[in-house]
């Protein structure tokens, strides 16, 4: 299993809150994975990763648990990521240049309209929420090799004319 050992001040890391870089560095130093942190905090691993990149806001209890686990002063992290924190979501440049993120973009570029049609056939006219949302990443071992399985679970929101 690969772990990031150092958090650079360049690229995407330069654009996230400094408290996030502090948390990422502490996570690397502790050798923890998001799954490890999920088991300790009770929060979902994808939610935790989004918190660490400033894309989601942590509840006070989760933030306290993260800081305690990673031996980071809660006061300094909460000052930046606490009650007054407003996440700036979706700040990734387009098209993405990171190979992993680009492949996700590519998959939605290729399969986005077909998936939309299937969703429309099964649910009607509406959208899947990315707000009332969960996501899961799993490692699947198959005879042909290791695969990544990503499951999106979003609330169905039908369009309504009022």
| Active-site amino acid positions | 103, 106, 129
Question: Cα–chain-centroid distance for residue 68?
Answer: 21
Q: How far apart are CA 63 and CA 78, in angstroms?
A: 7
Cis? peptide before 95, omega within 30° of 0? yes
Q: How far apart are CA 53 and CA 41, in angstroms?
A: 17
- Tell me the DSSP string of 96-151: --SHHHHHHHHHHHHHHHHHHHHHHHHH-SEEEEEEEEEEEEEEEEETTEEEEEEE
Q: How far apart are CA 151 and CA 136, in angstroms?
A: 5
Helix (H) or strand (E) holding 156: strand 145-158
């Amino acid at each position: 299993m690969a772990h990031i050992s150092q958090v650079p001040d360049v690229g995407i890391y330069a654009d996230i809150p400094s408290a996030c870089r502090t948390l990422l560095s502490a996570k690397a130093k502790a050798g923890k994975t998001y799954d490890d942190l999920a088991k300790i905090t009770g929060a979902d691993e994808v939610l935790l990763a989004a918190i660490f990149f400033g894309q989601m806001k942590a509840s006070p209890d989760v933030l306290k648990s993260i800081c305690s686990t990673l031996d980071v002063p809660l006061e300094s992290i909460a000052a930046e990521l606490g009650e007054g924190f407003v996440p700036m979501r979706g700040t990734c440049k387009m098209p993405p240049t990171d190979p992993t993120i680009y492949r996700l973009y590519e998959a939605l570029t290729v399969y986005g309209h077909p998936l939309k049609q299937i969703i429309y056939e099964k649910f009607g006219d509406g959208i899947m929420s990315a707000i009332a949302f969960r996501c899961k990443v799993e490692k699947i071992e198959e005879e042909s090799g290791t695969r990544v399985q990503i499951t999106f679970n979003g609330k169905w929101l039908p369009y309504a004319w009022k």
